[in-house]
């Protein structure tokens, strides 16, 4: 027996989840030949902006928890994209840096990002995409 339940007005969580999954699938598919996932490419993007990041600094800049950061850095170290060496000033910390291998894949990875952005901009139009990006930033930062 089906009940006539009230429906959400916008289905925001479902729509944003489906849109994000679509974009992430694109990144994963395009980055796979380089040995990267979308999440790993994002991590490399964070790491290329500052040398000698601690794990805590990386987690904060990447917007992820410490456990996720540990896992990500471990995978990137195993695949040869980053190094993690003890901080000479504080033995409790490791300093994370990109390897030459990572520096080689960042430019083509950024081209993949630009290609996706162009495709979305063509589909939506710049006058729609700009406000959408602004709205997504607001949603990302909502304290709910």
What is the pTM (predicted TM-score) of this model? 0.85
- Looking at residue 7, its pLDDT comes to 85
Output the pLDDT for position 1.
60
- Below-50 pLDDT ranges, the chain: none
Q: What is the pLDDT of residues 88-120, one digit of tens each?
A: 999 889 999 999 999 999 999 999 999 999 999
In the chain the domains, ranked by start, together with CATH numbers, are 12-134 (1.10.10.10)
SS3 at position 143: coil
What pLDDT, on a 0 to 100 scale, did the predictor assign at position 44? 97
Tokens of 143: 């304290």
DSSP-assigned states of every residue in 64-120: --HHHHHHHHHHHHHTTSEEEEEETTEEEEEEEEE-HHHHHHHHHHHHHHHHHHHHH
């Amino acid at each position: 027996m089906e009940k006539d339940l009230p429906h959400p007005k916008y289905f925001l969580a479902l729509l944003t989840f489906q849109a994000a999954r679509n974009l992430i699938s694109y990144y994963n598919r395009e980055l796979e030949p380089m040995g990267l996932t979308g999440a790993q490419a994002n991590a490399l993007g964070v790491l290329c902006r500052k040398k000698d990041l601690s794990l805590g600094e990386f987690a904060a800049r990447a917007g992820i928890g410490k456990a996720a950061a540990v896992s990500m850095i471990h995978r990137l170290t195993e695949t040869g994209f980053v190094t993690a060496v003890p901080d000479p000033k504080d033995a409790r910390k490791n300093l994370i840096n990109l390897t030459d291998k990572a520096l080689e894949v960042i430019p083509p990875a950024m081209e993949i990002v630009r290609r996706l952005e162009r495709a979305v901009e063509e589909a939506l139009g710049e006058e729609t995409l700009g406000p959408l990006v602004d709205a997504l930033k607001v949603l990302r930062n909502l304290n709910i």
